[in-house]
Structure 1
């Protein structure tokens, strides 16, 4: 599987990404494949339960997300990336599923990528939409909850250098770091949130 860049509206952001993650596009689920030595996954609920069913479980889920995000980005400016998936290479609105814009107000197109899949009759395009803001605890709870409920996918939260990446998904979050030492420090701080899977999935 390879990725093809269809459009780049913010080359300065792409340069920052490429400086840290040259082997893959800004696609959260690819970070483990290319950078496993700098990656860790935290599960959002006890016993690796995937989806929250009660208010108490949502409280646990959001507390875990906000704890790690605050340890990574407290007081910093961050980029927030949401992804609109469509069958068209050109990004236009309104969207059939508007969450990437409604949950990331003010987002503008960064880039569009697609997977190179030989023989694909109906290709899918990932339109990456970006904003930036100062991180504060609770600021992204609606977005984090939507990711946890699989309402939205592909979310990335990154520092302005794009050297630290946080990718929430339905089940937890993937984190990627500049080096394995930074990864290991956060991993050690939250061992009870790790997977029992041999490679940490």
Structure 2
């Protein structure tokens, strides 16, 4: 990771869109719910808020839930697919397991940007975002989504080219950001059985 390439100039438009957000981005995926809380909804990936799949039937359920929402967000359009690596300055390994898996599952991803997460005390962690742009087709991200559901990756971000809709899949569910609270409410109301029972939506 110490020899990471320079960010891909093809992703400059995505950077400008993130920086134009209020508050400005990009942000780490788990900060979406607080950064854009008034437009955020979380869907659980398995019944009864179960976190991990135990068999192929449960993987089928969680992939169907991911793809159903992704279809509603991105059908007939193009998307940016973003995967993330991180490095701890205290570690010396250049290719930890998650890096090898990310490269295998997202070979088209090129370095988009690097975020420096301050840690006090101690050295900061660096987060590397890799992106590619492609047509959205249901099922095209299933290997990535399955790895995210297993916590084998640091989540998978999918966004439309204008950065108005964001889907972040991870182990246990997905965070979704919509352009307006009203659109968020309509999406949420279509999938009430997938919501958390917790009052906060977590």
TM (normalized to structure 1)? 0.88
Instruction: Return 5+ residue gaps in structure 1 as ranges.
Output: 1-6
Q: 2:108 aligns with which of 106, 109, 115?
A: 106
Between the aligned partners of 1:199 and 1:23, the Cα distance in structure 2 is: 24
| Shift in Å, 1:82 | 0.3
Between the aligned partners of 1:8 and 1:15, the Cα distance in structure 2 is: 14
Is the Cα contact below 8 Å between 2:40 and 2:175 reproduced in 1?
Answer: yes
Between the aligned partners of 2:88 and 2:119, the Cα distance in structure 1 is: 14
Between the aligned partners of 2:108 and 2:95, the Cα distance in structure 1 is: 15
Between the aligned partners of 1:21 and 1:77, the Cα distance in structure 2 is: 23
Match of 1:43 in 2: 44
Q: Give CA deviations for 1:31-86 in whole Å, capped at 9, x if unaligned.
A: 11121110000000000000000111111000000000000001111000001111
Is the Cα contact below 8 Å between 2:118 and 2:125 reproduced in 1?
Answer: no
| Shift in Å, 1:24 | 4.2
Instruction: Return 5+ residue gaps in structure 2 as ranges.
Output: 1-5
| Shift in Å, 1:106 | 1.5
Give the SS at the match of 1:160: coil
Q: 1:30/1:24 Cα in 2 relative to 1: closer, same or farther (>3 Å)?
A: farther
Count of equivalent residues: 190
TM (normalized to structure 2)? 0.88
Match of 1:135 in 2: 136
Q: Give CA deviations for 1:101-134 in whole Å, capped at 9, x if unaligned.
A: 211122110000121223224x321100001111
1:66-85 alignment, distance < 5 Å: 66-85=67-86
Match of 2:162 in 1: 161
Q: 1:29/1:189 Cα in 2 relative to 1: closer, same or farther (>3 Å)?
A: same
Aligned Cα root-mean-square deviation (Å): 1.8
| Shift in Å, 1:21 | 4.8
Q: 1:43/1:21 Cα in 2 relative to 1: closer, same or farther (>3 Å)?
A: farther
Between the aligned partners of 2:167 and 2:125, the Cα distance in structure 1 is: 24
Between the aligned partners of 1:79 and 1:58, the Cα distance in structure 2 is: 24
Match of 1:95 in 2: 95
